Amino acid sequence: MEQLLQHLLNGLLLGATYSLLGVGLTLVFGLMNVVNFAHGEFYTLGAYAVFAALVGASIDFFVAIPLAVMVGAAAGAICERCLLRPLRGASIDTIMLVMIGLWIAMQNAELLGWGGVAKSVPTPFPSRPVVFGPVSVSLLRIFVFLVSAALILGAHLLLARTKLGRAMRATFQDRETAALMGVQVERIHTVTFALGAGLAAAAGALLGPVFLVYPSMGDLASLKAFSVVILGGLGNFVGAALGGLVLGVAEELGAGYVSSGYRDAVGFIIIVAVLLLRPSGLFARAERVG
């Protein structure tokens, strides 16, 4: 029983970062209809940014994280401006392939820049876990969970309550009408993509210290993000948030009770199962973003 509780707790804590990844991707894939296979690369970028800030520039941990998020968002904005804007109107397949090219380029640039050896990110938290009755958890993971939850909540409020959020929803529902009403449609595209990239970078900045940082870490992150998006339903913000938790728990249970070698297979299996059985996602009736 205690084992189960521990697994559930671990799953939820980790799942919050998956939710973060998923929410960022559902914005881009669901709203902008861009199949962003490079999503994981912004995740990796965030992780390396934190590493560079801490180890290279000796910046304080709690400053490095938001810095990494901004780096990710900026990179996203640049990519949108340079790659997606010129291709506006191109077929979804072409854009998908361009994103694949970006994926390959970014990952190998990181490989060249940082080398293939995994890096460890120092944190100000004690490594000894805190014990709460039957379960134990490290302070770092609690921090990661809280920040993830805060960012998800923040993004939701941004979309639902602010003028910018309204402009975003309007643009992707009906571009022409939004433009006629004075919305700067091109800028909204850039901002949306940057938001998605920033959230991915945040997930990377938070998980980098938990695990290790290496160039191909984004591959699994991308897949898991897609898994979460499919689970929650394309464009479904709440669905993605919940889906991330489901994935986290499923992985932990799978690793704990079946086999740890196949841990990452859980994400794949979810994708296959949901696509084949209920393509609109498990939470399809929940609130839609667009």
* Euclidean distance between CA atoms 245 and 12, whole angstroms: 5
For residue 136, what are the β-bridge partners? 131
Site for another protein contains 94 (CB under 8 A) = yes
Site for another protein contains 104 (CB under 8 A) = yes
Whose Cβ is closer to another protein: residue 13's or residue 274's? 274
Binding mask 105-134 for another protein (x = CB under 8 A): xxxxx-xx----------------------
213 phi/psi in degrees, rounded to 5: -110, 120
* Euclidean distance between CA atoms 85 and 186, whole angstroms: 8
For residue 132, what are the β-bridge partners? 135
Ramachandran assignment for 146, one of left (phi > 0), alpha (psi -120 to 50 degrees), beta (any other)? alpha
Nearest distance in Å: CB 35, another protein: 4
Site for another protein contains 286 (CB under 8 A) = no
* Euclidean distance between CA atoms 192 and 178, whole angstroms: 15
* Euclidean distance between CA atoms 207 and 186, whole angstroms: 32
* Euclidean distance between CA atoms 18 and 203, whole angstroms: 8
Site for another protein contains 102 (CB under 8 A) = yes
Contact window for another protein (CB under 8 A) among 63-71, 92-100, 199-207, 282-290: 92-100
For residue 83, what are the β-bridge partners? none
Whose Cβ is closer to another protein: residue 134's or residue 279's? 279
The CB density around residue 223, as the number of other CB atoms within 10 Å, is 18
Site for another protein contains 77 (CB under 8 A) = no
Q: How far is CA 101 from CA 37, 48, 98, 244, in A?
A: 9, 20, 5, 26
Nearest distance in Å: CB 158, another protein: 25
* Euclidean distance between CA atoms 277 and 180, whole angstroms: 41
Q: Is residue 196 within 8 Å of 25, Cβ to Cβ?
A: yes
- Binding-site size, another protein (CB under 8 A): 41
Binding mask 197-226 for another protein (x = CB under 8 A): ----------------------x---x--x
Whose Cβ is closer to another protein: residue 117's or residue 276's? 276
Nearest distance in Å: CB 25, another protein: 11
Nearest distance in Å: CB 96, another protein: 6
Site for another protein contains 280 (CB under 8 A) = no
Site for another protein contains 279 (CB under 8 A) = yes
Residues that bind another protein (CB under 8 A): 29, 35, 83, 86-87, 90, 92-94, 96-98, 100-109, 111-112, 219, 223, 226, 230, 259, 261-262, 264-265, 267-269, 271-272, 275-276, 279
